[in-house]
Amino acid sequence: MLSSLTITKHSASSGKSQTITVKIEADATLSALRAVAQEEDIMSARDLFNIGHSGISLPKAREERLTWADIQDPKDKSVHIEVEAKEFSPSEGLTDSEKRYLLEKSRIGFGFDSAGEGGPKYSNRRVVADVPLSLICFAYNDEGQRDIVATESSRKSAYLRAGWADVSLAAKTPWADVGVQASSSHSSETSQFQKRTYVTGRYNFAYATISTKDYVAQLKPHPEFEKTIMDAPAVSNEADRTKEIQNVLKWYGSMFVASVEVGGMKHSTIERILDEKTSETSAKKEMSVELNKQLGSAEVEAKGGAIEAPSFAKWKESLSSPRSWDVTRVLEVRSVLSLFKKEVQTKIALAAFKTPLYRFKNSAGRHCMSTDPDPFKLAADYDEEWANYGTVGTVLTVPLDGAVPFYHVHDHIRHVFTNDLAERDNHTNSKGFRYDGIACYVHSTQKPGTVRLNRTWWGPFFYDNAYSTTKEDLEAHKQAGYGVDDYFHCYVYPA
């Protein structure tokens, strides 16, 4: 384990050196410590390891206040900074604390919601109490998001799973996963034709898997997180309660890491636009050769090992020490709701995944429903535009607590919603209706807190179905000539 950090300031003009030593009483790695010299505002030894991309928390570090001025002289441009640290003591395998550190370093945790244009949002909010291997850092990085969610960004790289090209790097370790992967995409605009070829090279030294599976049963929600999550369902208003729980999960996130792969990885992607005369096969071979050269460069994105190593061989050599490994892939995540008892999970999930069900009416007088309030997103029935007439109830966006799909079928005139699969198939197979997907999830039997969704119909000269949850709306439909469908059993939450 590291016990001290030494920062040395050298001045070529004066020939003097100044050394500052910070005592460390927790785990860290050399690559993380080098981040010290890159920060512009180092407030304390504790903050030193909480900022930037280190993702490390050292609560026992001595409170020695440091500022950038202590190690950098802006007037003397000949000054350069060296950050050194005592190496880990050699040992067989990884200790629990070292495994925990590597998990924290993964920067994958509670929050797979969209990062937006600004990229992933980093935070250190805690949701898990202090038990073995439970100090997992909140937030995620782009690599982890690709591995878990398989985002659309994979389309622009060899992660298209198009297969490895017939070229590889020399691997001198049985744990190496080495290769060059090639894929192509085509696009045409007016009369022009373009072929884009992408080749990705990857050297993945994956030596070990670190898992918290054996500890999941011991994990408990952090007291602050537990209080926040338990206070949210206590909000009396249904809509406000749903918003509050959604805000809590957005703030703290919804997932934590259960298993990661550690080692080292270098990868890079080359993109080329080819004309019709260029051979795709020959281009891939040329790009593969170029890519192999790039992987030996310190400029290529790397994880783990001596990232600043001048050659590929030096970088591979640095991976001989487990203390220089990084997280190369996230293998498994768990929901934060699994930290609570079953009844609490259900209560939170039911509130978090509720959404209003809106009803619409067009100028011809026919009805439709959607969880999207925008009437312009509904298909116009022979140029009859829709208008939003408010909510008819509240439904689920996922199949929780026995909820079933609420199917939507239509024939461009009449819109039918049903939770009966046989009825859906009968309409699409025998009556010429088009299946428009699952609108939401509803209950086929009454659950606590739900109300019946009534379906009424009118025909044969004016085909339509109308839906309601209140006695007033049901009576209004009946007075307008609609008949009640007594065979329709569907339950939703009140509007």
pLDDT in tens, 415-457: 999 999 999 999 999 999 999 999 999 999 999 889 999 999 9
**262 vs 493, more confident:** 493
What's the pLDDT at 474? 94
CA distance 295 to 178: 11
What's the pLDDT at 430? 92
Report the candidate in 33, 76, 65, 72 with the shortest Cα–Cα distance to residue 51: 33
Q: Last residue of some domain: 279, 314, 342?
A: 342
User: Percent of the chain scored above 70 by pLDDT?
Assistant: 42
Phi-psi region of 176 (alpha: psi -120 to 50; beta: other; left: phi over 0): beta
Tell me, yes or no, whether 333 and 200 share the same domain: yes
**DSSP-assigned letters across all residues of 86-138:** PPPPP-SS--HHHHHHHHHHT---S--S---TT-PPP-----B-S-TT--PPS
What's the pLDDT at 40? 29
Overall average pLDDT of the 125-144 stretch: 33
Tell me, yes or no, whether 60 and 177 share the same domain: no
Residue 209 identity (one-letter amino acid): T
**DSSP-assigned letters across all residues of 146-172:** HHHH--GGGGGSGGG---B-S------
pLDDT in tens, 305-340: 777 777 777 777 777 666 677 766 666 666 777 778
Tell me, yes or no, whether 374 and 479 share the same domain: yes
Overall average pLDDT of the 338-366 stretch: 86
**124 vs 102, more confident:** 102
Tell me, yes or no, whether 273 and 417 share the same domain: no
pLDDT in tens, 176-210: 334 444 444 544 443 344 555 555 555 555 555 66
| C-beta of residue 209 within 8 angstroms of C-beta of residue 261 | yes
Domain assignment present for residue 91? The answer is no
> What three-state secondary structure class fits 466?
strand
Tell me, yes or no, whether 39 and 140 share the same domain: no
Tell me, yes or no, whether 64 and 169 share the same domain: no
Task: Give, as one character, the DSSP assignment of residue 383.
Answer: T
Whole-number Cα distances in Å, 70 to 21, 39, 78, 135, 230 = 12, 13, 16, 32, 46
Q: Is the dihedral of CA 342, 112, 149, 306 positive or negative?
A: negative
Confidence of residue 470 (pLDDT cuts 50, 70, 90): very high
Peptide bond into 120 cis (omega under 30): no
Q: Last residue of some domain: 41, 66, 85?
A: 85
Beta-carbon contacts of residue 63 (< 8 Å; ≥ 6 apart): 44, 45, 46
For residue 89, pLDDT beyond 60 = no
Overall average pLDDT of the 97-106 stretch: 52
Tell me, yes or no, whether 322 and 380 share the same domain: no
Tell me, yes or no, whether 129 and 206 share the same domain: yes
CA distance 361 to 381: 11
Tell me, yes or no, whether 154 and 196 share the same domain: yes
What's the pLDDT at 393? 94
Domain assignment present for residue 63? The answer is yes
Q: Last residue of some domain: 318, 342, 366?
A: 342
Tell me, yes or no, whether 177 and 287 share the same domain: yes
For residue 344, pLDDT beyond 60 = yes
Q: How many domains does the chain have?
A: 3
What's the pLDDT at 254? 67
| Domain hosting residue 401, numbered range | 353-492
Domain assignment present for residue 297? The answer is yes
> What is the CA 104 to chain-centroid distance, rounded?
16
Domain assignment present for residue 232? The answer is no
Domain assignment present for residue 242? The answer is no
CA distance 32 to 2: 12
Domain assignment present for residue 227? The answer is no
Tell me, yes or no, whether 55 and 134 share the same domain: no
> What three-state secondary structure class fits 471?
helix
